[in-house]
Structure 1
């Protein structure tokens, strides 16, 4: 199974909540309460997002976090890369243009060059999705992704499948 880390999932959830805030700041405690992400996890993720320049921090009585740019200008590719590092499904795909790490199949691998194309396709798909797309109330496939052969409507998982984040 391919899966991003829990912290990246939390980062997307927190950033989507900030996108819904329409320019208002939210404290870490407010974001944690609204998203059900545990406070220590929310704090850790927000610090990483601050270092990546995706959120800004405001001090004072009305302080908190806000998006560094409009939701339409922050792609999921940028967000995932900030929290996960470069998008790559395999170890050898992470080393574009450089020798791969220790892989015993490297000298005979017939697929290595194709991973670059696969990783690029994933990067491009994530680059076409923005936080503005995620804050939309109904999960619909954005028109610009329809040409990728994906279904035009995406149904949300049943409530029992999502659970409460901790």
Structure 2
């Protein structure tokens, strides 16, 4: 199992937003996709696309116009890694048969493994749920120094 680059970049952007916004959501005011792209190295078109997806998923709030920008929709401690990944990639599913209503597998009628995939899928989901954005946004010392130099 491997995250797509887009999901990985979404985690990077959300972590940067959490470092700027903090638990109060307004500690440093609002950010924009360009600032996040510059800080993280995520290409600006990709950052804009991700901000849109994360806004649609309710993880980021976005305001247009002068004084506008983006901010986390809720505290970093209440946003999980699973929330971010699902915002970009859709429901977490180790195999297609773990998605409710999906019946596109030719082996579905005789598969003896299918009942076990749900357990695996729930275990992975729980592991991702247990990682909060707050823990991901705790920058290593070297990054903290670079961010302070840019300020």
TM-score, scaled relative to structure 1? 0.76
Distance 2:76 2:117 in 1: 30
Matches within 5 A, 1:8-157: 8-22=7-21, 23=26, 24-95=29-100, 98=101, 100-138=102-140
The CA deviation string for residues 55-92 of structure 1, in whole angstroms up to 9 with x for no partner, is: 01133433211100010111111111121111111111
The structure, 1 or 2, with the larger RCO (C-alpha pairs under 8 Å, 6+ apart) is 2
Distance 1:131 1:43 in 2: 20
Distance 1:19 1:137 in 2: 10
Comparing both structures, which one devotes a greater share of its residues to helix?
2
Classify the secondary structure of the residue corresponding to 1:48.
Answer: helix
- What are structure 2's unaligned runs of at least 5 residues? 141-151
The CA deviation string for residues 23-50 of structure 1, in whole angstroms up to 9 with x for no partner, is: 3321111111101111111000100111
Distance 1:137 1:28 in 2: 19
Task: Count residues with an aligned counterpart.
Answer: 134
TM-score, scaled relative to structure 2? 0.83
- What are structure 1's unaligned runs of at least 5 residues? 139-166
Deviation above 4 Å: which 4+ runs of structure 1? none
Deviation at residue 93 of structure 1 after TM alignment: 1.2
The CA deviation string for residues 124-156 of structure 1, in whole angstroms up to 9 with x for no partner, is: 111111100101235xxxxxxxxxxxxxxxxxx
